[in-house]
Amino acid sequence: MLNALVTHLAAEGETKNPILPETYDLVWSGLFFLIILFVVWKVALPRFTKMLDERSAAIEGNIAKADEAQKQAEAALEEYTRQLAEARTEAGAIRETAREDGKKIVAEAKETAAAEAARTTAAAHAQIEAERQTAFVSLRNEVGGLALDLAGGVVGETLSDDARATAVVDRFLADLEASEAAK
pLDDT number for residue 135: 85
C-alpha angle 68-69-70 in degrees, rounded to nearest 5: 90
122 vs 12: which has the higher pLDDT: 122
pLDDT number for residue 170: 74
Mean pLDDT over all residues of the chain?
84
Residue in 143, 149, 129, 134 with CA at minimum distance from that of residue 173: 143
Question: Which amino acid makes up residue 180?
Answer: E
179/183 Cα distance (integer angstroms): 7
pLDDT number for residue 142: 81
pLDDT band for position 78 (cuts 50, 70, 90): very high
Is residue 80 scored above 60 in pLDDT? yes
Q: For 23-33, what is each residue's pLDDT tens digit?
A: 888 899 999 99
Tell me the three state secondary structure of residue 22: coil
Is residue 136 scored above 60 in pLDDT? yes
The mean per-residue pLDDT over the stretch 52-81 comes to 93
67/61 Cα distance (integer angstroms): 10
Neighbouring CB atoms inside 10 A of 151's CB total 18
Is residue 151 scored above 90 in pLDDT? no
109/114 Cα distance (integer angstroms): 8
Query: CA 113, 119, 121, 123 torsion: positive or negative?
Result: negative
164/170 Cα distance (integer angstroms): 10
149 vs 109: which has the higher pLDDT: 109
Residue in 37, 19, 17, 39 with CA at minimum distance from that of residue 29: 37
Report the predicted TM-score, pTM, of the whole model to 2 decimal places: 0.38
Is residue 3 scored above 90 in pLDDT? no
pLDDT number for residue 53: 94
Do residues 165 and 141 lie in contact, with contact meaning Cβ atoms separated by under 8 Å? Answer: no
pLDDT number for residue 75: 94
